[in-house]
Amino acid sequence: MKKRWDIIVVGGGPGGIFAALEAAKKGKSVLLLERKREMGVPVRCGEAVGEKDLRSYVDIDPRWISAEINSFIIVLPDGREVKLKSNIYSGYIINRDIFEYDMAARAAEEGAVIRLKSNVQELILKENGSVAGVRTMEAGEMREYYAGIVIAADGVESRIARQAGVGTALKPEDIEPCVQITASNVRLPEKALYLYVGFCYAPGGYAWVFPKANHCANIGLGINGKYSRVSRPVSAYMENFMQRFFPDASVQRYVTGGVPVSTNLKPLTKKNLLIVGDAGRMVNPLNGGGITHAIYSGIQAGKTAAGTCEAPGKAAKYFSQYERNIQKKFGKNHEHQYRIKDVVYQLRDEDYNRIGAEVLNIDIRKRSFLTVFRHVVKHRPEFLGDVLRAFTGI
Amino acid sequence: MIVQNTLCDQCGTCIAVCPEDALMLNEHALIIDHDKCTECMLCVNICPVAALEKKQ
């Protein structure tokens, strides 16, 4: 195996794959290192993605789509369902394993080399703090690979950036421990994203039921880290939830995971290191969605890395451009969402029930996200500003 | 800290909150660097499946 590469990508999730694909397309030599023994799995993800959003990055292969989604149903603590207006959302529940398999194959076709079972232990740092390469464990043997640019796409753990001196450790309140099952024989009446809100289900988070093909569904639950205790971990909340709503479900997949719900990491670059996706804390902190954020940042990082290889003198300019692009695309928005999350997840179950009852009184054709938030603001006027900014993008 | 490997799903949530960089995953298991660990309990409390506990 070659020792020297133009670009090394650490981590083979969507961020890493798209970074490798983009840089390889530009003719650079790219090595992607993945710890696990298979691309695409385990799928630690609800797999919901907006149709337009995904389409803006890639031509969608029908094989990736498990189910189409066109509505949104919020289940209140008292069990009542608040359905929002139809076609409020156009999205998919995808098969991320198939999607990532395919995209990894495309990256390889463009010339990127993927190496599995390669567990990056640490960065090789130069005296000036820039990154020379990585030390990785492969089948019990330590190996070294060198590159001009390293892309940290190592997911929620984010140890690579940490070693380069960027503080990535999350406070408990900035992460949601989650459990998700993929259940079969789940008959859902609507092609909707079902969100269960309230302390009684998931303190500081929510439970989700996302329909997949063949009467399967991703059913998951996340709580805020500050409520997570060894005596009552999120798995215990999940057990309660399943007992109550899906006592007879058969389970074909069980995964756990942590979803970062902070604002974007700052900085997102350090010397010749670029940070993408979950490692850069780019998940929307209110709804926990992060697939397309990883894709976007991966593409941007791949471009930035390739451009810098061609014009090393412009490294500083290109890197600050990367930082700005991410901030512009969703950094500011996530700051508003973060403050909204703070208020929304502190609502009491009575508040949810009362706000829900008010929304239920509105004609279903007028039940938009804005309408819902208008009623939240009525009860909690202090976050009017953030709601407005989140919706207007100002 | 000790990890019960029968419970651990190797999801890395504990690694994300560890202030000391005392945790890492290899291909099969969570590895704890006992020299770095200060037993702050953040990982124990955040684990989705209660797979970590303080060594008695």
A168-179 pLDDT, tens digit each: 999 999 999 999
Do residues A221 and A267 both lie within one domain? no
Do residues A33 and A85 both lie within one domain? no
- State pLDDT tens for residues A101-140: 999 999 999 999 999 999 999 999 999 999 999 999 999 9
Using the structure block, give the residue that is written with the tokens 């899906």. A246
Describe chain B by its helix, strand, coil percentages, rounded to 5: 20, 20, 65
Do residues A108 and A32 both lie within one domain? yes
- Please indicate, yes or no, if residue A307 is contained in any of the structural domains: yes
ipTM of the complex as predicted: 0.97
CATH number at A78 reads 3.30.9.10
Do residues A36 and A185 both lie within one domain? no
Cβ within 8 Å, pair A175-B46: yes
Cα dihedral A282/A287/A290/A292 (nearest 10): -110
How many A×B Cβ pairs under 8 Å?
96
Do residues A209 and A87 both lie within one domain? yes
Indicate whether A373 pLDDT > 90: no
- Chain B nearest CA to A35, separation (Å): 6
Do residues A327 and A224 both lie within one domain? no
**Beta partners for A218?**
A182, A210
Using the structure block, give the residue that is written with the tokens 């058969």. A250
| CA dist A96 → A18, A100, B31 (Å) | 14, 6, 28
Residue-number span of the structural domain to which A218 is assigned: 67-93+172-260
B27, A36 in Cβ contact below 8 A?
yes
Do residues A305 and A268 both lie within one domain? yes
B50, closest residue in chain A (CA to CA): A230
- Please indicate, yes or no, if residue A57 is contained in any of the structural domains: no
| pLDDT tier, A393 (very low <50, low <70, confident <90, very high otherwise) | low
- Please indicate, yes or no, if residue A52 is contained in any of the structural domains: no
Which residues on B lie below 8 Å from A258 (Cβ)? Answer: 11-13, 16-17, 46, 48
Do residues A202 and A190 both lie within one domain? yes
- State pLDDT tens for residues A43-69: 999 999 999 999 999 999 999 999 999
Give the predicted TM-score (pTM) of the model: 0.97
Out of B9, B17, B49, name the one closest to residue A169 (CB): B17
| Interface contact B31, partner A, CB < 8 A | no
Do residues A245 and A276 both lie within one domain? no
CATH number at B20 reads 3.30.70.20
Give the pLDDT of residue A394.
57
- State pLDDT tens for residues A131-147: 999 999 999 999 999 99
Residue-number span of the structural domain to which B31 is assigned: 2-53
How many separate domains does chain A show? 3
User: Choosing among A256, A278, A281, A282, which should be mutated to test the B contact, i.e. which has the most B CBs within 10 A?
Assistant: A256
- Please indicate, yes or no, if residue A60 is contained in any of the structural domains: no
